[in-house]
Structure 1
Amino acid sequence: MPDHASDDLTPGTEDPPRSGFSRRTLLTSASAASVLLAAGWAGAPKATAAPPAKSVRIAILGTSDLHSNALNWDYYKDAAYADSAKNAIGLARVSTLVNQVRAEVGADRTLLFDAGDTIQGTPLGFYYATVDPVTTSGAIHPMAAQFNAIGYDAVALGNHEFNYGLGYLDNWISQLDAPALAANAVHAGTAVPRFEPFVIKNMHAGRGLPAIRVGVLGLTNPGVVIWDKANVSGRVDVLDVIESAARWVPVMRRRGVDVVVVSVHAGDSGLSSYGSDLPVENASALLAEQVPGIDVILFGHAHNDVPQRIVANSTTGDKVVMSEPGKWGQRVSRFDLDLALTAGRWSIVRASAKTLNSNTVEDDPALVAVVKAQHDAVVAYVNTAVATSTDVLSAAESCWKDTAILDYVNHVQVETVTKAIAGTAEASLPIVSIAAPFNRAATFPAGQVTIKDVAGLYIYDNTLMASVFTGAQIKDYLEYSAKYFATVAPDAPVTPEAWTNASGTPDYNYDQFSGVTYDIDISQDQGARILNLAYDGLPVAADQRFVVAVNNYRQSGGGGFPHIATAPVVYNAQVAIREAIVAFASTAGEIDPADFHVVNWQLVRAGTPVF
């Protein structure tokens, strides 16, 4: 049985972090000597050291950012998943890889962990949270059913676990056979974890040998308090990843663990997508560097394939092996640890990491069968027709042109907010709207438009809100959004795709306004690009007030846009924007760009339109 942590420990009651853990050698496919030099070791262990009496190899496997991908299926295309890199996705593929490693190393010497973002991200996750919620039906969530069938040993919580509220999350956790960990998600105003902080697993080392005790600490992302403020405010605080690990790693060491693993939902860049008011968002490498006593870090959140990264702890000099398994089950991180038994204690003498590619195997039929009925229900749902479109509407150019398909999102948001605030003090204000190009591949075909098409356009489970902005705030907001574009000379060739994503800004952080007109002069420096901002043909005054329809992610501060997080909220009915689009289209029966498409913004260079 696993040894679970208690929740009644408070900061200050633990011993200080220990230093001087045994030095470890991390091996890759290169020779041991070359890796020692590359990793910064001064040399091998002293020649006088006694040889280890026994050695055992264990494997630690990890996934992250599965985002409700159970099968190798693209619900938006209604076909098997395919991309240009020939990736495969889904837990059914992961299961095959896990079975292979267990057969190779031994099931009793293999552990499987996850680093979060599991229950949101595809129509499968959305369907069983909102359309036919498992909290009402009593059904087992498909991702819980698959986790149990594979046999996960522990699951860390990601920020998207909080998207559907704490009640839904608690229900999902109750369905898991494995513990769900988040040491830094505490009851608001306290240091008491709301979820289990860590778990210790005893691994069989061989007859007559002591068990190998592996502790795994789970940590979630501080951004939860911004991105899901409505769900956690006053109920859950998320503390600093590094400070929380410094609190709990010594507790685990005192309980006699031989190996400390951290499963953390944080990338390794050391950067944040929000301001400095919260702890660092992508802190996993800082965690390895600053907290002594960690051996292995499985990390996620950034959706990168990082087979192996080695970070030296600044206090002890010990090397920490890290890996990130990409996204959606495309990769599985594999850590191989060789442990030696000396004086009755196990210590790591060699460690390495790599990622396994899911496209090298086929789906595990047993895992397909686990979710087949639920998958089929979602396929039927997303193929339900909601309206007829008079034209093909494509998002392919939405990142540099005002397109009808993105105008449709803004049109629905404005209509929904207009009805909601009728009769209020704000009803007399102009209503404008914000939307971003989430998916360049989104298309409404001419003819029948289905839920699948809407879901492909609006891929996030955001809800609709409305706040009050001044004209000056709209100008600031648009200037911030315009940093998405590179600075382009007036006479440079027209290559708009190459101009986007400047400074690493993703498409979903390029917000466009409807309801006001403006130019974006990309030949100017960032901060001086918005020209001719007007409403109803007249320049927007700095103190002019507007109601702004916006999604909850942005209103909560996601993306770091100015003013919006503190703007007065006048509408928040928790209406999912995707569902609002489906309902609006169903009621209207027809999607005709002539009813809503207005070209109200354009790219210019030195005042001359690009297109």
Structure 2
Amino acid sequence: MTQSNKYTYDILLTSDLHGAIRPVHYPTNAYSHTGLALLGALIRRMRERAPELLLVDNGDLLQGEPLAAYAAASQDNDKTHPFIEVLNELGYDAAVIGNHEFNYGPDMLTRAVQASNFPWLSANIVDAQSGEPAFGPPYIMKQTACGVKVALLGATTHYIPNWEKPQHIKGLRFLDALETIRTWVQHIRDKEQPDVVIVSYHGGFENDLATEQPAEPLTGENQAYAICREVAGIDVLLTGHQHRSLAEELHGVTIVQTGCNGSSAAHVAVQLEQQPDGQWQITSKQAELLYPEASDLPDTAVMVLTEELERHTQAWLDQPIGEIIGDLSIQSAAGLRLAAHPFMAFVHQVQMEATGAQLSNAALLSKESRGFGNKVTTRDVLANFIYPNTLTVLELSGQDIRDALEQTACYFSLDDQGEIRVNPSYMEPKAQHYNYDMWAGIDYELDISRPEGSRVVKLIREGEPLRMDSLYSVVMNSYRAAGGGNYSMFAGKPVLYTGDTDMALLAENYIRTHQPLDVPHTDNWKVTAG
């Protein structure tokens, strides 16, 4: 928008869509007033008002919803990925590589990038040999009709090698995002002399925005706070990865984050005024989150482009897998985390049979997990195993196991009435239920009335106290095996097994081969308050 010597530059962001294109809640098949098809209506309204709008996706597009899983499993090498067709249709100017873009392997990601009518940016993911950005230019330049010059730089959390299968990132190096952004912003300022510098970073904030104190272990996974504080020359920082909803100012930098699954888009309006020497100067910036209006209908073109994919996905989701004897339903995720539960016993059985490990730990990854009824379909499995996690077996000492249990016990605290609750530190800056592990192959008890670090009051294997100096094989997901979630006692331990099949498929195969499936009740652990 322009008025004589004043101009407003509009930026619109989507992020962490995770395959949420159509307005469907796939576990129940109910309508959901979210997703890119609904945001498409919002995008088109914004573009009518601001034809020079900069439209950016900040990553984690290709993995997530069953629609994404089916698109990956059935991808025709000769066809453009349906999600890329959608972004092309909506006229995206750029996208940033997210960590989940790698989940289905390099071939699918390469085809997606090549089919896009826009560049994919990530300055800090480089070719291991050349050192050049691996997916395209590190930044793009835009110039408006009135002469305002805008730079957009992309970067991605460099923590990806701690999660991703090595074969999916072969030939790539992940440079420190903070240092890479610092270098490129200075380069852009010196060479391009832009009026507005925007950084789109698939990463989040490591510090609490109100107190400025560290909010998580400083692993480097999230560096957005340091980027705002330490890198000079950034006007707007577009963030993601943490699935938070943010629109504010931090150290003079306008910041936004859009939540996830197409719940909202973020809009930043940058007001500029032309100076007597002809240069444009920023006078103010406003950020807001935009949600689909109640009256909005899904964008017709987006729905048409994904109609065939949706039809095949629904048929796939309704395929029967097997029958369950007993009750593997989850009535309360909070209750499941307080004592041994049949559904988690099932998860442990899958993990231990797949790997032959002596012990198993696992978390309930989805807040929407409802377990299984008597008849199980593909939809049920994918509703409970929402990430393409693979398994790793580590060799751990009894002391490592005790230390891990003490760490997992930090998930709880006591309220003013002495009742067990989730530790507030696990709810901010985002909910971290996925960092609470439950174990099989040992008997244990956690007493939350005791100080952190001394809450394991029972730890037994096969009727005897677990020996601190003995070694055990323990299966867990690859994120945890790398020490993710502040489980530093796992990092660097001997690896006995690495799998390449994700948990959803392992669970499906387990059910099919154990028909009818009868998971016996276990009571090997519990959490108490004294």
TM-score relative to the length of structure 2: 0.91
Q: Deviations over 1:10-43 (max 9, x none)?
A: xxxxxxxxxxxxxxxxxxxxxxxxxxxxxxxxxx
Q: Residue type of the partner of 2:522?
A: V
Please identify, of 524-533 and 231-240, the stretch whose mean Cα deviation from structure 2 is larger. Answer: 231-240
**1:306 lines up with 2:246 in the alignment:** yes
Query: Are 1:300 and 1:326, in contact at CA under 8 Å, matched by a contact in 2?
Result: yes
Q: Deviations over 1:376-426 (max 9, x none)?
A: 2112111111111223322322222211011111111111112xxxxxxxx
Once residues 17 and 81 of structure 2 are traced to their aligned partners in structure 1, the CA distance between those partners, rounded to angstroms, is 14
1:431 to 358, 364, 369: 358
- How much does 1:501 deviate? 5.8
- How much does 1:70 deviate? 0.8
Once residues 325 and 298 of structure 2 are traced to their aligned partners in structure 1, the CA distance between those partners, rounded to angstroms, is 40
**1:290 lines up with 2:230 in the alignment:** yes
Aligned to 1:91: 36
**1:538 lines up with 2:464 in the alignment:** yes
**1:125 lines up with 2:68 in the alignment:** yes
Aligned to 1:553: 479
Query: Are 2:127 and 2:134, in contact at CA under 8 Å, matched by a contact in 1?
Result: yes
Once residues 215 and 4 of structure 2 are traced to their aligned partners in structure 1, the CA distance between those partners, rounded to angstroms, is 49
Identical residues among aligned pairs (%): 29
What's the secondary structure of 2:117's corresponding residue?
Answer: coil
Aligned to 1:103: 48
Aligned to 2:259: 326
Once residues 289 and 488 of structure 1 are traced to their aligned partners in structure 2, the CA distance between those partners, rounded to angstroms, is 35
Once residues 119 and 557 of structure 1 are traced to their aligned partners in structure 2, the CA distance between those partners, rounded to angstroms, is 26
Query: Are 2:206 and 2:216, in contact at CA under 8 Å, matched by a contact in 1?
Result: no
Aligned to 1:68: 19
- How much does 1:187 deviate? 2.9
**1:387 lines up with 2:322 in the alignment:** yes
**1:453 lines up with 2:403 in the alignment:** no
**1:511 lines up with 2:437 in the alignment:** yes
Once residues 535 and 555 of structure 1 are traced to their aligned partners in structure 2, the CA distance between those partners, rounded to angstroms, is 21
**1:336 lines up with 2:269 in the alignment:** yes
1:172 to 99, 112, 124: 112
Q: 1:120 to 1:501 in 2, by over 3 A?
A: farther
Aligned to 1:374: 309
Aligned to 1:352: 286
Aligned to 1:598: 522
Please identify, of 455-464 and 565-574, the stretch whose mean Cα deviation from structure 2 is larger. Answer: 565-574
- How much does 1:510 deviate? 0.4
- How much does 1:443 deviate? 2.5
Aligned to 1:421: none
1:152-231 counterparts in 2 under 5 A? 152-188=92-128, 191-195=131-135, 196-205=137-146, 211-228=147-164, 230-231=166-167
Q: Deviations over 1:343-398 (max 9, x none)?
A: 23333223211111124422111111111111221121111111112233223222
Query: Are 1:392 and 1:443, in contact at CA under 8 Å, matched by a contact in 2?
Result: no
Query: Are 2:240 and 2:257, in contact at CA under 8 Å, matched by a contact in 1?
Result: yes
Once residues 288 and 274 of structure 1 are traced to their aligned partners in structure 2, the CA distance between those partners, rounded to angstroms, is 17
Aligned to 1:263: 200
Aligned to 1:138: 78
- How much does 1:525 deviate? 0.9
Please identify, of 438-447 and 577-586, the stretch whose mean Cα deviation from structure 2 is larger. Answer: 438-447
Q: Residue type of the partner of 1:605?
A: A
Give the length in aligned residue pairs. Answer: 513
Q: Residue type of the partner of 1:241?
A: A
Query: Are 1:407 and 1:514, in contact at CA under 8 Å, matched by a contact in 2?
Result: yes
Once residues 415 and 266 of structure 2 are traced to their aligned partners in structure 1, the CA distance between those partners, rounded to angstroms, is 40
Q: Residue type of the partner of 1:257?
A: P
Query: Are 1:486 and 1:502, in contact at CA under 8 Å, matched by a contact in 2?
Result: no
Query: Are 2:207 and 2:215, in contact at CA under 8 Å, matched by a contact in 1?
Result: no
What's the secondary structure of 2:253's corresponding residue?
Answer: strand
Once residues 296 and 80 of structure 1 are traced to their aligned partners in structure 2, the CA distance between those partners, rounded to angstroms, is 34
Q: Residue type of the partner of 2:176?
A: D
Once residues 121 and 501 of structure 2 are traced to their aligned partners in structure 1, the CA distance between those partners, rounded to angstroms, is 30
**1:462 lines up with 2:389 in the alignment:** yes
Q: 1:354 to 1:399 in 2, by over 3 A?
A: same
Once residues 408 and 248 of structure 1 are traced to their aligned partners in structure 2, the CA distance between those partners, rounded to angstroms, is 49
Structure 1 vs Structure 2 CA RMSD: 2.3
In structure 2, runs of 5+ residues without a counterpart are: 209-213
- How much does 1:158 deviate? 1.7
Once residues 274 and 65 of structure 2 are traced to their aligned partners in structure 1, the CA distance between those partners, rounded to angstroms, is 46
